[in-house]
Structure 1
Amino acid sequence: MKLRTSPVISLDEYRSRVKLGAIEEFITCHMCGESRQQPLYEPSRTKKNGRTAWTYHVVRCPSCGFLYRNPNILPERLGDLYSQNYSTFLTGNYAANRQRRYQQAMDAFSPVFAEGGGRRLLDFGCGAGYFLELAEQRGFDACGVDLSPDSVKEANERLTSAAAHFGAPEDVPEIAAGGFDVITLWSVLAHLPRPVEDFRGFRDLLGPGGVLMILTVNAQSLLLKAYGSRWNGFTRNHLMFYSRETLPLLLRQAGFAGVAFEPFYGDTIEAGTTRLSARHSRRLKRGVDAGDGGNMMRALAFADEKAIERWGDGRPVHRVG
């Protein structure tokens, strides 16, 4: 109903309606280049004193269905969102169940993560190093990069053999050299203002047979449909929102060969600790399966045909090349 009743307007008309912030720019659809806009949501957060902490606009591309923030953050100002004690967030309540979620995703994409065997792994947006810690334990030759300097400092205090670096992959010679077997993006994809450029860079960093693992908020989420602008996937730092339909468009432009998805039912459902009855758990799973309605999306992107042959593991692979 929201899609049927929300008008599609030109970018010029949209610019006349929406205020541009100091570190923002108006953009067109990164997936297909469409300039028309379909305004849908206005997420916001209110402080305890009643003042608005932040607010932004989310539009849908009327051509390909991609959901994104517009105006968006200028790429050169992205670090502004993470410069002030971002590790406090990453290590607080947010981090309480992070490693359980990582374990569940790694299990879902077995055998990629079953045993590292010295294979090279890059965790892009490594935060405070919680996943790198697991990668160490599984025997990967692991490293990470992040835009939050305090998070990188905390990560290196936690790690033994792995190392976290501040900045972008091209800033670190041993990372820029490439040849990685695995790259991971844990809740990072929604933060990227220039995703096509970034994913072309990831493709270049992967060696033959390499894979890219993605966990991100799901634009097909049943919770988004239920809560609209109050959806918990709309956070202060999220810029773009993908689904099974739009992620392959990004991967095709970046030169990947294919992608496989695994449904996300929720941390407690998958851990067997949910308070839901068995009947309601089955009903939830059926609902998620019917329309890819999990609140998170889990995807494994294959760099080439060799990667599909090695790591496809019998699961359905959507070829994007």
Structure 2
Amino acid sequence: MISPRRTVYRLLYGTRYDKVPWGQRVYVRPGERQVREFQWRLLLRRAPVISLDDYRKRIPLGEIEEFLSCMMCGESRQQPLFEPTGGKGWRYHVVRCPSCGFLYRNPNVRPERLGDLYANSYSKFLTGDYAENRQRRYRLVMESFTPVFDDGTGRRLLDFGCGAGLFLQLAEQRGFDAVGVDLSPDSVQQANERLQKAKAYFGAPGDVPEIAAGGFDVVTLWSVLAHLPRPLEDFATFRRLLAPGGVLMILTVNARSLLLKAYGSTWSGFTKNHLMFYSSRTLPALLRRTGFAGVAYAPHYGDTVEAGTTRLSPQLKERLERNVRRSDGGNMMRAIAFADDEAVARWGDKLKIHKL
């Protein structure tokens, strides 16, 4: 059965865009970018802004949750926008900071209960359908930030939230002296079964003396940032762990995505375990407050398009790339943060650096 939404698209556009991956269609259908941007501005204009006290009275608080003010700027007022829901009955509320625009789940998960989200065979998710094309995604992101990942010989790398070790496997193949940490014990076990030289540990960086000592040339966050309940504390730790000239690589869902603006609460970035949602407009505040010197971004046009397994006509590919660059950078945000000016000088020649 064809959904009403798809019927509308068929009436407007016919079938000419059906072979374009679902996540890229909003960028190639004529006029849709402008419509979605208008739709977003209208939502923000209409959504009420309320005090945190009033918000507390409206929203129930779960056993492992707490209410928050904005982590980026401290604003306590709330602009409720979305109520994502999913299988097995999970539901949460997403608000926007009316001062800086940061999107976050509120109430949020208390840090000491974060492990509850990953304790029950989380590795089955990481190694099932989700993992099918993960290493391809890693390679595409590493290529977009060349030469940072080209040769790891003599360089130390920490993969924070390493899961089942799929990236650590690539890192050791590229010569990095690589280690990882994760909160899922079964994922760590699977990672160590997969790895030859790299090593995965259960827990936080401070729990492992080898990691706590720091001196890393690269720290990577692959789809981890949205899971952090105390990002300021974590990023201060990442900055401390980096050696002079070090970089922090981030891949996360993009809170400026046209897909978010188009689909609201059903956006693919609103998953059960995601807590906070960043964009190129809000990430710099986090990096600035934790001592980083600069940040650069790389656009995301879609994994299958970039890998060449989805072939678009030259006209559609040019339209896709143009709209991604003009609007939001794509549904995933690729960013690399520079610990200091030495890092900018060493790795920033081919990148557009935003100084912090």
Gaps of 5+ in 1: 48-52
Deviation at 1:276, TM superposition (A): 3.6
Would you tell me which structure has more helix in proportion to its own residues?
2
Q: Does 2:344 match 1:308? A: yes
Moved over 4 A (4+): none
Which residue does the alignment assign to 1:50? none
Cα shift readout 1:107-127 (whole Å, capped 9, x = no counterpart): 000000001012000000000
Which residue does the alignment assign to 2:58? 17
The residue type equivalent to 1:139 in the other structure is: G
Q: Does 2:252 match 1:211? A: no
Aligned equivalents of 1:280 and 1:13: distance in 2?
47
Q: TM-score, with normalisation over the residues of structure 1?
A: 0.97
Cα shift readout 1:261-288 (whole Å, capped 9, x = no counterpart): 0011110111111154332222111111
Q: Contact 1:38 / 1:61 at 8 angstroms: preserved in 2?
A: yes
Q: Contact 1:214 / 1:298 at 8 angstroms: preserved in 2?
A: yes
Q: Contact 1:152 / 1:164 at 8 angstroms: preserved in 2?
A: yes
Q: Contact 2:226 / 2:276 at 8 angstroms: preserved in 1?
A: yes
Which residue does the alignment assign to 1:247? 283
Q: Contact 1:262 / 1:298 at 8 angstroms: preserved in 2?
A: yes
Q: Contact 2:298 / 2:329 at 8 angstroms: preserved in 1?
A: no
Q: Does 2:38 match 1:38? A: no
Deviation at 1:293, TM superposition (A): 4.2
Q: After TM superposition, list the pairs within 5 Å mapping 1:1-321 onto structure 2.
A: 1-47=42-88, 53-320=89-356
Deviation at 1:200, TM superposition (A): 0.1
Aligned equivalents of 2:313 and 2:94: distance in 1?
36
Cα shift readout 1:133-182 (whole Å, capped 9, x = no counterpart): 00000000000000000000000000000000000000000000000000
The residue type equivalent to 1:44 in the other structure is: T
Q: Contact 1:222 / 1:293 at 8 angstroms: preserved in 2?
A: no
Would you tell me which structure has more strand in proportion to its own residues?
1
Cα shift readout 1:238-271 (whole Å, capped 9, x = no counterpart): 0000000100000011110010000111101111
Larger Rg, first or second structure (1 or 2): 2
- SS, match of residue 44 in structure 1: coil
Gaps of 5+ in 2: 1-41
Aligned equivalents of 1:280 and 1:228: distance in 2?
25
Aligned equivalents of 1:281 and 1:226: distance in 2?
21
CA RMSD in angstroms comes to 0.8
- SS, match of residue 89 in structure 1: helix
Q: Contact 1:221 / 1:295 at 8 angstroms: preserved in 2?
A: yes
Q: TM-score, with normalisation over the residues of structure 2?
A: 0.87
- SS, match of residue 65 in structure 1: coil
The residue type equivalent to 2:75 in the other structure is: E
% identity of equivalent residues: 73
